[in-house]
Amino acid sequence: MRQKSKIYWCGFDLAGREEKLKEYQKESEDPNFWDNPQHAQKVMKSLSRLQDSIESWHKLQNRLNDALELADFGDDSLLGELEAETKAIVADVERREFRSMLSGEFDKGDAILAIHAGAGGTDSQDWAEMLRRMYLRWMEKHSYETEIIDTTPGEEAGVKSVTISVSGRYAYGYLRAEKGVHRLVRISPFDSNSRRHTSFALVEVLPQVDDDTDIEINPNDINIDTFKAGGAGGQSVQKNDTAVRITHLPTGIVASCQNERSQAQNREMAMKVLRARLLEIKAQEKAEKIDELRGEYTKAEWGSQIRSYVLHPYKMVKDHRTNHEVGNAEGVLDGDLDSLIEAYLRANMGGENSS
């Protein structure tokens, strides 16, 4: 264990990261640091994340040293405690080793996750709501900060679409495994004859990108509409037109936000979503797969699913890209997604990292 820990610490380059942290701290102490607020916020965010990362490695090192000291005692009565601690440390190291493989340009950053109900009417809108709950539970378990920035309620139940901002380390790196069509098979609660229905929903995952990202948006290419923000059931929660909808005329992409308190904040968030979607298109074109990926994004119907969730006549969740199966469908719908996400990322490591 001692030798392996040295290998991991070399791979992590703790000394190099501590030196980078000092550079950020020195920059933040400059009297003119906040003259450029956008750059300052970016630096402070990087500083905070790097500090948390370094502290977590120091804590792991202390746990490892304590475990080694415990082992050196040679006391058989401590074997149970030592075994449990060793398993916990190994699991922690393996998780860090996996994260180190998420090396794409945006993998370590925040994400925007959008869910769109597909073919299936009310059942699919309810399915979109179930997916929203599933992802929010997963995000909560992983201590990600979330904000629902836009929601279009379903006509009878569920939601037609919902957009969620996800903040935290590796949010995009993990969630990009969820991009695609999700299929649900169950006895419909909306069918008076209790027949089995198949529903579809599209999950869109984008990296949150900074304003200085190489994405130029010509003001003449966008149309900005404002409207009153709506709550559940369609009631108005704002008397003023604070919600913002931005349409990018050359591509037809629409981005909206109605969750913030002011029109300016909603506009800023909507622009962030638009910039992320334009970046995705640019990446697709660069990869010369634009037609294939656009098809994947628009066909939320039979035959295009990446994953199936079956609740009747048996219970199982299967990812069709990896053939990874989970028998506990209720657990998955309650946010236990790690095995499905990691199976996909491990299978595609190095292939889609740059997306």
Q: How confident is the model at residue 212 (pLDDT cuts 50, 70, 90)?
A: low
Of 250, 304, 253, 300, the closest CA to residue 276 belongs to: 253
CB 103 within 8 A of CB 204: no
β-bridge partners, 152: 161
What pLDDT score was predicted for residue 230? 64
pLDDT higher than threshold 60 for residue 4 = no
Residue 204 has pLDDT above 50, yes or no: yes
How does pLDDT run across 67-114, given as a tens digit for each residue?
Answer: 888 787 777 777 788 888 888 888 888 777 777 778 788 898 999 999
Task: Please tell me the predicted confidence (pLDDT) of residue 188.
Answer: 93
pLDDT digit string (tens) for 152-174? 999 889 999 999 999 998 999 99
What is the number of alpha carbons within 13 Å of residue 149 lying toward its C-beta?
28
- Compute CA distances 236 → 165, 232, 233, 241, whole Å: 22, 9, 9, 10
**Residue of 84, 139, 94 whose CA lies nearest to 115:** 139
Q: Following DSSP, what letter does each residue of 294-312 receive, concatenated?
A: HHHHH--STT-EEEEEE-S
Residue 283, Cβ density class (10 Å: 0-12 exposed, 13-18 middle, ≥19 buried): middle
Which domains are present in the chain? Answer: 2-100 (1.20.58.410), 105-355 (3.30.70.1660)
pLDDT of res. 319: 97
Q: Which amino acid is at 208?
A: Q
249 in Cβ contact with 226 (< 8 Å): no
Give the Cα separation of 105 and 157 in Å (integer): 38
Which residues, including other chains, have CB under 8 Å from residue 344's CB and lie 6 or more apart?
177, 319, 321, 322, 324
Written as six digits, the tokens of 46 are 């990087």
Distance CA 355, CA 49 (A): 22
pLDDT tens per residue across span 327-354: 999 999 999 999 999 999 989 875 444 4
**pLDDT-derived band of residue 121, with 50, 70 and 90 as boundaries?**
confident
Highest mean predicted confidence (pLDDT) among 85-94, 126-135, 165-174, 231-240: 126-135
Q: What is the pLDDT of residues 31-61, one digit of tens each?
A: 999 998 878 888 888 888 788 878 888 888 8
SS3 state of residue 258? coil
pLDDT at 18 over 70: yes
Q: What is the pLDDT of residue 312?
A: 92
Beta-bridge mates of residue 255: 246
Greater confidence (18 vs 210) lies with 18
Angstrom CA distances, 246 to 208, 220, 266, 355, stand at 17, 12, 10, 24
Q: What is the mean pLDDT of residues 264-274?
A: 90
Compute the distance between CA of residue 214 and CA of residue 219 in angstroms, rounded to an integer. Answer: 16
Mean pLDDT value of segment 229-243:
56
* Distance separating alpha carbons of residues 49 and 194, to the nearest angstrom: 50
Average pLDDT over the chain, rounded to whole?
Answer: 83
Give alpha helix (H) positions in the chain.
2-12, 14-28, 37-73, 79-100, 122-141, 171-175, 263-286, 290-298, 329-333, 338-347
CB 117 within 8 A of CB 181: no
- Report the largest interatomic distance among the alpha carbons of the chain, rounded to a whole angstrom: 75
